[in-house]
Amino acid sequence: MTPSHSPRAAVFDVDGTLVDTNYLHTVSWWEALHQAGHRVAMTDLHHTVGMSSDRLLDRLLPAGRDREQDSAISAAHKTLYATWFDRLPVLDGAPELLRTLARQGWRVVLATSAQGSELKALRRAIGAEDAIHAATSADDVQSGKPAPDAVRQALEQAGAEPGRAVFVGDTVWDVQAAGRAGVDCVALLSGGIGRAELTEAGAVAVYRDPADLLAGLDGSPFGRTE
């Protein structure tokens, strides 16, 4: 199958992109680290959300720390975050955006570091199972974002070439992962990261949230990928 005739893939990050969870993760990480005796500023935590857990801890904590504590901190974060599973807030326009793209022939693939019950809770919150072609999680890749593994795995699941795909994310790490996989990234402001940071990282377009992207879909990179 030649690239011009391969399927088109709409690859989506989930946290902060489709579901409004970045600040919930920030608070959960803060509490987990606090319980382990670490003081980390909320703003620093927020800017690491979207990274895999191991990369996040490496960025926030001293290199000479007792790394045997890392797994316990990650487990505490998961436990704290799980208390929100029944009330995760979907972002405006998210399910409609996925369904519109699916109707237009895009293969919608989720690319997230969430796994197990967390991924199930996120998909339940989105409420658009009929539009989702596949999902790749932390279980499916060797390295988390900003490594390109998740984006490449999503392309494989969709059977799409990089030039026939668009990635949608909300963090610098999403933009970097997409770029390293050779995929254009549309960034959303819904995760709390500023337009300038996302553009500097390489985002080809920036929208406020899924509803804003949906309203401007024809003029977006999705409308220009035939």
What are the pLDDT digits (tens) for 181-210? Answer: 999 999 999 999 999 999 999 999 999 999
CA-based max dimension of the chain? 55
pLDDT, one tens digit per residue, over 6-15 is 899 999 999 9
- pTM of the predicted protein model: 0.94
Residue 171 main-chain phi, psi, to 5 deg: -125, 165
Catalogue all structural domains in the chain, each as residue range(s) with its CATH number: 3-21+88-219 (3.40.50.1000), 22-83 (1.10.150)
Q: So what's the pLDDT on residue 144?
A: 82
pLDDT digits (tens, 9 = 90+) for 27-51: 999 999 999 999 999 999 999 998 9
